Amino acid sequence: MTSTFFLSGLTLMFFSFGLMLCAVTQAFGQGKLRSDVEKELIPLQAAYQASPGNDHNRRAYADVLFKLGDVWQANDVIAPLATPWSSNLDDLQQGAKLALLTSDYHRAEILFDRLLEIAPKTSDAHTKAVEGLVIVYYQSNQFAKAKQLSLPPAPSDTDNDSNDLLTYMQRFSGEPYQIEWATPEKIAHLPMINDITAPGALPLMRLEVNGQPVEFILDTGGDRLYVDEGVAAKLGIKRLSERKAKYAYTKGETVTEPLGVADTVKLGQVTLKNVPVIVAKWKALGLTSDGVITTQILKQFLSTVDYAKKEITFRERSASGHAQLLASFEGKVPRQMPFFLASTHLQFAKGCLNGHSGLNLLVDSGLALSLPLVLPDETVQFLGLSKTPIPNTKLFVSPIESHGMDHLIRGATQAASNIFVEKNMYWANGFLMDGLISHQYLWHLGSWTIDFDNMTYYFTPEPDSLDPVAAAKCFAPK
């Protein structure tokens, strides 16, 4: 249920979907802070540069780069060892994992296939290969290929997200996310109908599901389209299977969610057909919207969340759609930054907090909070931040001098902590998760386009909310 707390004039209302992870990502439990890993990098980098032909040095360097979230560099380093002819299980796993993170699904499929071919059938490596292929087929909308896969039953004391996703895909009929444009320009606009600048507010849009009007919020921290269970019954959502999940908005309690399909989802001038759906307990917990527009919906398009114009624009993922996007900047060069995708939907970009750059920030636009950041306790410790308890809750807030993604740095704010419901969230994906950045940071930037073909974000060329002094500190030579 949505809760409201007051601290120094700040309103905190929290229920983000982005804090639910799939079991294909596993907690490593290193118990290390970022400072520890950054210290490990120095000798490993020196050893690799001194002897790049040494496979041991290459593997160790790629591994520490992965843990730091420098996935593009790690991908390049491990590539000579992770090939379709490799017989080293670790090299194949590392290469395939990095291909997934950088959304190179063709290469990921080849490497996971090779791993599946040579790993003993009862081994952990064999299971990882199948789990990896499940994600490859899911992200590339090749659900039919999942019918050839099988996973061993998950232990009763663990989440079985991979098994649930595989079962769902195997029961899914036809091609998901079929796109039908209403105009030859292949552009659609979905207006935001609320005040997105209010504390705790998230963009709210009107759309149609199965021909009936609904109002959904935007949350890039969500996976498939979320529909409230009562609304889903009225809409005639077809049920295929179910899964168990837990969220911050359920206070960490596990809930059972039906997994289904919507015949149509109309987003302004574009309609998606055969759309995967998660049916969630939503309104029963005090939340008012009918559901959530999520990452997998945005991923079907070249999607622009235009906060200045208060609308989401959907363009075709094509050369013409990209040309339309660049033309929308009216001759100015947009600010660009790379991002990578973990699990089914978790978007990460590099960021800077208090002058420390290179951090991995989960970009979750669905944090219904008057603050722009949530930090794991390890990052609070790493940055040496003080913690002020929020009365009558388990939450804390910490002062931040500067914050932002890449070079889009803003000034002072506060960050919330002790929110995450996942155990060891800091290492849950195998790489450091330094923090979560959300709507109260993003909307100040004017517009935000997510390009899943090039794994690049585009922002308004000259946001007026940036702090050049703070940015200079972040990227000054160390």
Please say if the pLDDT value at position 217 is more than 70: yes
CATH 2.40.70.10 maps onto the chain at 4-20+332-474, 178-324
The C-alpha atoms of residue 416 and residue 434 are separated, in whole angstroms, by 13
pLDDT in tens, 74-107: 999 999 999 999 999 999 999 999 999 999 999 9
The C-alpha atoms of residue 299 and residue 139 are separated, in whole angstroms, by 9
Q: Which CATH superfamily is domain 4-20+332-474 in?
A: Acid Proteases (2.40.70.10)
DSSP states along 152-196: PPPPTTS--HHHHHHHHHHH--S-SSEEEESSTT-EEEEEB-S-T
Tell which residue, 132, 147, 291, has the closest CA to residue 222. 291
* Local confidence band at 250 (pLDDT 50, 70, 90 cut-offs): low
* Local confidence band at 246 (pLDDT 50, 70, 90 cut-offs): low
What is the enclosing helix (H) or strand (E) of 180?
A: strand 178-181
User: Stretch 351-377: mean pLDDT, rounded?
Assistant: 94
CATH for 178-324, among 1.10.10.10, 1.10.540.10, 2.40.70.10, 3.30.565.10?
2.40.70.10
**Ramachandran class of 268: left when φ > 0, alpha when ψ lies in -120 to 50, beta otherwise:** left
The C-alpha atoms of residue 398 and residue 380 are separated, in whole angstroms, by 8
* Local confidence band at 9 (pLDDT 50, 70, 90 cut-offs): very low
* Local confidence band at 12 (pLDDT 50, 70, 90 cut-offs): very low
The larger pLDDT score, comparing residue 249 to residue 388, is at 388
pLDDT in tens, 431-443: 999 999 999 999 9
- 213: phi then psi, degrees, rounded to nearest 5: -70, 140
pLDDT at position 421 is 66
* Local confidence band at 159 (pLDDT 50, 70, 90 cut-offs): low
Tell which residue, 448, 433, 460, has the closest CA to residue 350. 433
Check: CATH 1.25.40.10 for 34-153? yes
User: Stretch 40-57: mean pLDDT, rounded?
Assistant: 97
Please say if the pLDDT value at position 14 is more than 80: no
Give me the chain's average pLDDT, please.
90
Q: Percentage of residues in the chain with pLDDT exceeding 70?
A: 90
Please say if the pLDDT value at position 263 is more than 90: yes
Please say if the pLDDT value at position 126 is more than 50: yes
Please say if the pLDDT value at position 25 is more than 50: no
* Local confidence band at 347 (pLDDT 50, 70, 90 cut-offs): very high
User: Stretch 139-149: mean pLDDT, rounded?
Assistant: 96
Mark out the alpha helices in 68-155 (DSSP H runs): 71-78, 89-101, 105-118, 124-139
Residue pair 92/116 in contact by the 8 Å Cβ criterion: no
DSSP bridge partners of 436: 362, 374
pLDDT in tens, 282-303: 777 777 899 999 999 999 999 9
Tell which residue, 282, 302, 306, 307, has the closest CA to residue 292. 282
pLDDT at position 30 is 58
